[in-house]
């Protein structure tokens, strides 16, 4: 156990009992709330700094202990503790893909909606990234600080050398440019993942579609998802894009972007900024960003993807105090700027973009003002719905829909209808 700045206790293993139970730990007579996280080098330093700032500003009547666990183990232990009624955290980082596990039956997290409304903050967030991933039946159970506005990010040196017209305004134009680029250079503007669903999700959400409809029912065979998959399948069939077996965001994918085999990527800041600067730092200054090409004349030019939200468990003995800290760390400039400067995390809190620091030119991206682009596009992110069956439905989409359509020559409409039926079957068997 080591002491972090400002009194937060950051634990590297399982040595402390961090739960709301008889015999709760105290420090100087104050109860210690426990927080569990999974990203020691990513999000935990932000939590530690936010707690230091909060402790200095508000002098709370509790202390905070931060325990870092492996991703899967942490989420599993929270679920087991909730079922057992003890042994879990008071506050927890919950990754977007894991949230559905915790809303099967009675949700185990505190509804943050009343506190956000009382503070008049609910609409001060870009909700598609800040609250939608952790919202179920109109109740907000978590807050995310990462504004995951998706952009098209391209190798400007390669585009310029090949005479690609930018900005690319429509997906039809992107296809035309892709055909010519491949013909002239032998390389590819883009690749198409077939063992992952991340880009399919972004381009489908851009149109207002997604995995679920507003009622939480699977929506895999809707026109938006079929249109996305048809476009990507045609790109491969026509030869101006290649299939990619590696996961989106993997070092293997970025190797192709670094050596110039592929010239374009699509995604949010943690992906295009964090991964590119980690994996291919020698390409600094060779990139430019733009909104997604349009599907329709009046349609959105962006989407959201990914994220981790901070939730307060219902077993927390000081729920109001814990909620206050969670909201504070997501809506206080000093806290948000710390994470921006450290990880270039663009915050979900709208007023933050009044700070000049978030709108400075970024050398890695040809001195574009990335924060300005992100904040300008973010209001156009379509809202979307989560579900208790997110893990099962996303995997059914991939297994029965995306992969067969892109690698086994199954017609897109047939593949997505099969995925829809499989998802509905899984839910039916789980609820009867």
Length of the chain equals 432
Residues 12 and 109 in one domain: yes
Residues 397 and 366 in one domain: no
Residues 32 and 86 in one domain: yes
Q: Can you give the pLDDT at residue 23?
A: 64
Residues 45 and 135 in one domain: yes
Q: What is the CATH number of the domain that holds 106?
A: 3.40.190.10
Q: What are phi and psi of 29, to 5 degrees?
A: 80, -5
Q: Can you give the pLDDT at residue 86?
A: 87
Residues 51 and 158 in one domain: no
Residues 66 and 191 in one domain: no
Structural domain total, the chain: 2
Both tokens of 299, joined, read: 């349609």
Residues 282 and 403 in one domain: yes
Structural contact between residues 319 and 18, judged by C-beta atoms closer than 8 angstroms: no
Alpha-carbon span 232 to 278, nearest angstrom: 28
Alpha-carbon span 55 to 367, nearest angstrom: 37
Q: Can you give the pLDDT at residue 4?
A: 37
Q: Can you give the pLDDT at residue 2?
A: 34
Read off the pLDDT of residues 69-118 as tens digits, 9 standing for 90 and up: 999 999 999 999 998 988 999 999 999 999 999 998 899 999 999 999 99
DSSP class of residue 313? B
Residues 47 and 162 in one domain: no
Stretches where the chain sits below pLDDT 50 are 1-8, 10-22
CA distances from 17 to 2, 24, 88, 92, 200 (A): 15, 8, 9, 15, 42
Residues 194 and 216 in one domain: yes
336 burial via Cβ count (<10 Å: 0-12, 13-18, 19+):
buried
3-state SS, one letter per residue, for the chain: CEECHHHCEEECCCCCCCCCCCCCCEECCEEEEEEEECCCCCCHHHHHHHHHHHHHHHCCCCEEEEEECCHHHHHHHHHHHHHHCCCCCCEEEEEHHHHHHHHCCCCCECCCHHHHHHCCCHHHECHHHHCHHHEECCEECCEECECCECEEEEEHHHHHHHCCCCCCCEHHHHHHHHHHHHHHHCCECEEEECCCCHHHHHHHHCCCCCCECCCCCECCCCHHHHHHHHHHHHHHHHCCEEEECCCCCCHHHHHHHHHCCECEEEECHHHHHHHHHHHCHHHCCCEEEECCCECCCCCCCCCECCCEEEEEECCCCCHHHHHHHHHHHHHCHHHHHHHHHHHCCCECEHHHHHCHHHHCCEHHHCCECHHHHHHHHHHHCCCCCCCCCHHHHHHHHHHHHHHHHHHCCCCHHHHHHHHHHHHHHHHHHHHC
Read off the pLDDT of residues 238-287 as tens digits, 9 standing for 90 and up: 999 999 987 777 888 899 999 999 999 999 988 888 788 889 999 999 99
Give ∠ CA 57-59-64 in degrees, rounded to 5. Answer: 105
Q: Which residues are registered as beta bridge partners of 2?
A: 10
Residues 101 and 161 in one domain: no
Q: Can you give the pLDDT at residue 308?
A: 96
Residues 236 and 334 in one domain: no
What domain range includes position 100?
A: 2-147+306-380
Residues 294 and 318 in one domain: no
């Amino acid at each position: 156990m080591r002491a972090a700045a400002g009194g937060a206790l950051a634990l590297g293993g399982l040595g402390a009992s961090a739960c709301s139970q008889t015999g709760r730990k105290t420090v100087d007579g104050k109860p210690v709330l426990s927080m569990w996280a999974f990203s020691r080098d990513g999000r935990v330093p932000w939590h530690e700094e936010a707690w230091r700032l909060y402790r200095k500003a508000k002098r709370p009547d509790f202390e905070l202990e931060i325990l870092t666990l492996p991703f899967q183990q942490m989420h599993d232990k929270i679920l087991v503790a909730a079922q057992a009624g003890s042994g879990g955290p008071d506050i927890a980082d919950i990754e977007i893909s894991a949230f559905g596990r915790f809303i099967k039956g009675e949700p185990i997290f505190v509804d943050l909606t009343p506190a956000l409304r009382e503070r008049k903050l609910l609409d001060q967030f870009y909700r598609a990234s800040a609250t939608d991933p952790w919202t179920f039946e109109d109740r907000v159970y978590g807050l995310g600080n990462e504004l995951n506005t998706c952009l098209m990010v391209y190798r400007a040196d390669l585009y310029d050398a090949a005479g690609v017209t930018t900005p690319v305004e429509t997906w039809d134009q992107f296809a035309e440019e892709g055909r010519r680029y491949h013909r002239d250079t032998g390389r590819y503007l883009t690749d198409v993942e077939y063992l992952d669903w991340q880009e399919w999700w972004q381009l489908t959400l851009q149109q207002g579609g997604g995995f679920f409809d507003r009622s939480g029912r699977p929506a895999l065979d809707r026109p938006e998802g079929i249109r996305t998959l048809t476009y990507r399948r045609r790109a491969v069939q026509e030869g101006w894009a290649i299939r990619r077996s590696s996961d989106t965001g993997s070092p293997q994918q970025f190797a192709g972007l670094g050596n110039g085999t592929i010239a374009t990527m699509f995604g949010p800041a943690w992906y295009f900024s964090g991964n590119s600067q980690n994996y291919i730092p020698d390409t600094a200054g060779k990139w430019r960003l733009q909104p997604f090409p349009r599907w329709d004349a009046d349609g959105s030019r962006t989407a959201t993807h990914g994220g981790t939200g901070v939730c307060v468990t219902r077993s927390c003995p000081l729920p109001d105090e814990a909620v206050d800290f969670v909201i504070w760390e997501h809506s206080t400039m000093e806290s948000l700027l710390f994470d921006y400067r450290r990880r270039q995390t663009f915050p979900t809190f709208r007023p933050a973009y009044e700070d000049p620091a978030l709108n400075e030119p970024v050398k890695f991206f040809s001195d574009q003002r990335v924060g300005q682009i992100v904040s300008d596009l973010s209001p156009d992110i379509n809202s979307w719905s989560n579900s208790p069956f997110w893990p099962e439905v996303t995997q059914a989409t991939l297994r029965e829909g995306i992969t067969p359509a892109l690698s086994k020559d199954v017609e897109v409409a047939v593949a997505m209808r099969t995925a829809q039926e499989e998802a509905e079957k899984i839910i039916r068997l789980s609820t009867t």
